[in-house]
A and B are shown apart, each in its own frame.
Chain A
Amino acid sequence: MTNLIPTVGEQAEEMPCLNERQLRSLIEHTSDIITILNNDGAIRYESPSITHVLGYEPKELLGKDAFDLVHPDDRAATRQFFTHAIQAGKAGRPRQFRCRHKDGSWRVLEAISSLFLEEARPIGFIVNSRDITERKQLETQLAFAQKMESIGQLAAGIAHEINTPAQYVGDNIRFLQDAFCDLEKLLKSYEQLLDENKNETVAPALIAEIDATTAAVDLAYLMEEIPQAIQQSLQGIGRVTKIVQAMKEFSHPGTEEKVETDLNKAIETTLTVARNEWKYVADMVSDFDPALPPVRCLPGELNQVVLNLVVNAAHAIADVVGNNGKGTITVGTRHAGDWVEIRVSDTGAGIPEAIRTKIFDPFFTTKGIGKGTGQGLAIAHSVIADKHGGAISYETEMGKGTTFLIRLPFNPSTSQTEAVL
């Protein structure tokens, strides 16, 4: 926006020059806050819109250190950002930080800065900032809504995954109960046989009775089925345990900081949790790099991204195969130089040309009304690019399928950092 003010430089000759009164009027009526700071950060000018946004009168701020208004947690990084901009001699990308309102509350501002020149010499900078508090709140709510949506969907799937083993474990135990009654009957006859044998008075009728009971309870069947019933019940309990464990790991409550994470394991967990979403339409092939080193990341958020991609892959395949057969989802990891790559490929229909530019847009969805908030890929992009300094891209071919590729830097703290607010 500052570029529009023609006095700044090169575009001046193409625009009519404004006199001082016009310029002042322009600055005073913009809703953004325009601040001029000295090199040391002291406020030299504050436009009247500051009163509306932060509650202060411009006068009361003159000469004060602008960074004192910034939230202590954001202060150092913000100051460094502006200093960098001055040293580099050019304006940086928009920067977000919290500022104290006169009433004590915190507002989130987004600012861009440019150099303030006097006779081609930088004597400070011009900061153009706007209040994005509400936008930030909305973004947080949307991200939360998306998470709730996928958890709600997952919960139904997980219930199904647990109900199935619960059914057959119950049935098997019921069978074991019946079988034990039969065996007990038989065992009692054998005990009697043993006693009679000791007294050398075995009655032929007893032998006949044992034969009859053996046939009636179908001993051969019981001997074959009992071990299997036990085996399968244990399997069922194992499945329930596994999914409950996976759910616990998947949700990762409270990890706000990047931690060293075994990505292969995290992805495997996500695939387990989401199993009910894909198992009816696709076979899952995992192609993990066994030598993948741990990666510093936000595991909860990354799981969410992988989940979104896998669910999308399953939907893409379901649209193609319907109820006739299955497709394939391939999930792989790879170590490539300074990067770690995660690939999620499907054998769906591919992304049509017409929507390719929109798929990362918030609210863009190809699913029916009420089926998706259209936040999945937008959030994936924000998590990968903004929070991890990585990149997310895709390759798609109509009729063949789509591959999403996530690239994460190994050590995000040394690569291009974009602080997480």
Chain B
Amino acid sequence: MKKHILFVDDEPNVLQGLQRMLRSLREEWEMTFVGSGAEALQRLAQAPFDVIVSDMRMPHMDGAQLLTEVMQRHPEVVRIVLSGQANQEVVMKAVGPTHQYLAKPCDPESLKALVNQTSALRELLTDATLKGLVTSMKSLPSLPSLFLKIVDALKTPDASIQQVVQIVAQDVGMTAKILQLVNSAFFGLRRRVDDLPRAISLLGFDAIKSLVLSLHVFSQCDQAMLSKYALHTLWDHSFATGACARLIARLEKQAQPVVDAVVTAGMLHDCGKLVLATNLPELYGQALTLAREQGLPSWEAERATFGATHAEVGAYLLGIWGLPNTIVEALAFHHCPAQSQEKTLSPLTIVHTANALAHEQTPAAESLAFLLDLDYLTMLGQADRLPEWREQCMTVLQGGGQ
């Protein structure tokens, strides 16, 4: 099926240039080019689009306004900014409603790859409501205690970047948001970064301060919701999975970039649960009940209830936020690694195993048989490594440290 892409720019030469440059993709993409925000909204009302790529500074309605409007009226559309703006203040205005940011001049390969990648992700979720729900999320809610901590730290004049790293690393929502910002060209960086401390130092203290305190890129999880769905265990489990993943990656002598990727993927692997619980709390409650009463693994209960699992929902969100593919892939298949194309020891393998081992340690653990695909590990020739991984992970998790 052809992807429908809408391009918006007030400079006719830019539109025509894009049109010519992307002509070679005319068999794969159905492209529409318009010169203003008003016209873009009109087109969106007439026909469905998968992705909108908009300029930032335009007269009458600027890119931030347009994308905010699109987010409200057509939440399912993926929103990308393509801007030559160099003024950081103006750039920051776009952070809220924008999934990804590309800087002009942008080479055609990046643009093609980005649009292709985001539209490919859309196949992860078939349900339009669920798709719209994920695309309309500006942030993942943070644990209230951590949220207060980060706000306090950023208000303290002598706070250090290490403190910020330490707090953000404990929170699923903050980690995801920071990686989104750094993996997009908002700050002219646009590199594939999957390591949180590096992401934070690239953004810098001042940028994070204004993002958090003035632009409110982090949000707080509702306290009642936390206790109702026992969500607080999600943070502990995520952190533990990250720690186990790091340990396994090191035991297998993986290169540092792989270690960084699996720690982040481990931390974020269940973020889809946050999306579901905060947006569709009643259905989420039903899924929990279903799992408990019928002894189903959580993702099967989710599929029965939502038509999709938290793994797919989370992968889709991080995918359209522009996080590196290894992380998105590890998230998407963390329950069913055998379905992935990757048939060697990969970040996915590590996150899959780390998740199972971390669950084993919690009181309300789902059984390991549910969680661990031994056939998959055997196929990869890693099954005999499991006892050592488990032993080491037990030591670390019971010791409470890393």
Within 8 A of A (CB), among B53-86: 57-62, 65, 82, 84-86
Task: State whether the Cβ of B384 lies closer than 8 Å to any Cβ in chain A.
Answer: no
* Contact yes or no, B57 A168, CB < 8 A: no
* Contact yes or no, A280 B20, CB < 8 A: no
Contact residue among A167, A236, A325 (Cβ-Cβ distance under 8 Å from B106): A167
Knowing A164-B84, A175-B21, the reply to whether A280 touches B58 (Cβ < 8 A) is yes
* Contact yes or no, B17 A166, CB < 8 A: no
Task: State whether the Cβ of B24 lies closer than 8 Å to any Cβ in chain A.
Answer: yes
Contacts of B23 in A (CB 8 A): 175, 178
* Contact yes or no, B87 A156, CB < 8 A: yes
Contacts of A174 in B (CB 8 A): 20-21, 108
* Contact yes or no, B104 A280, CB < 8 A: no
Within 8 A of A (CB), among B1-41: 11, 13-14, 16-18, 20-21, 23-24
Q: Please encode chain A, from 326 to 344, with 1 for each CB lying within 8 Å of some chain B CB and 0 for all others.
A: 1000000000000000000
* Contact yes or no, B17 A175, CB < 8 A: yes
Contacts of A164 in B (CB 8 A): 11, 13-14, 84, 104
Nearest-CB distance from A214 to chain B (Å)?
16
Task: State whether the Cβ of A159 lies closer than 8 Å to any Cβ in chain B.
Answer: yes
Contacts of B14 in A (CB 8 A): 164, 167-168, 171
* Contact yes or no, B13 A326, CB < 8 A: no
Task: State whether the Cβ of A255 lies closer than 8 Å to any Cβ in chain B.
Answer: no
Task: State whether the Cβ of A324 lies closer than 8 Å to any Cβ in chain B.
Answer: yes
Task: State whether the Cβ of B208 lies closer than 8 Å to any Cβ in chain A.
Answer: no
Contact residue among A163, A225, A236, A323 (Cβ-Cβ distance under 8 Å from B84): A163
Task: State whether the Cβ of B257 lies closer than 8 Å to any Cβ in chain A.
Answer: no
Within 8 A of A (CB), among B97-148: 103-108
Contacts of A155 in B (CB 8 A): 86
Knowing A163-B84, A232-B13, A235-B13, the reply to whether A170 touches B60 (Cβ < 8 A) is no
- Of A155, A156, A324, the most chain B CB neighbours within 10 A belong to A156
Contact residue among A169, A170, A229 (Cβ-Cβ distance under 8 Å from B107): A170
Task: State whether the Cβ of A90 lies closer than 8 Å to any Cβ in chain B.
Answer: no
* Contact yes or no, A280 B13, CB < 8 A: no
* Contact yes or no, A323 B108, CB < 8 A: no
* Contact yes or no, A326 B103, CB < 8 A: no
Knowing A170-B107, A172-B17, A228-B16, the reply to whether A160 touches B57 (Cβ < 8 A) is yes
List the A residue with the shortest CB-CB distance to B26: A218
Contacts of A127 in B (CB 8 A): none
CA distance A312 to B222 in the complex (A): 45
* Contact yes or no, B65 A159, CB < 8 A: no
8 smallest CB-CB distances across A and B, nearest first, come from A163-B84, A171-B17, A168-B17, A175-B20, A159-B86, A171-B21, A166-B105, A156-B87
A positions within 8 Å CB-CB of B: 153, 155-157, 159-160, 162-172, 174-175, 178, 225, 228-229, 232, 235-236, 279-281, 323-326
| A–B Cβ pairs within 8 angstroms, 24 of them | A155-B86, A156-B87, A159-B84, A160-B85, A163-B86, A163-B103, A163-B104, A164-B13, A167-B82, A168-B11, A168-B14, A170-B107, A170-B108, A171-B14, A171-B20, A225-B20, A232-B16, A232-B17, A235-B13, A236-B13, A279-B59, A323-B59, A323-B60, A325-B59
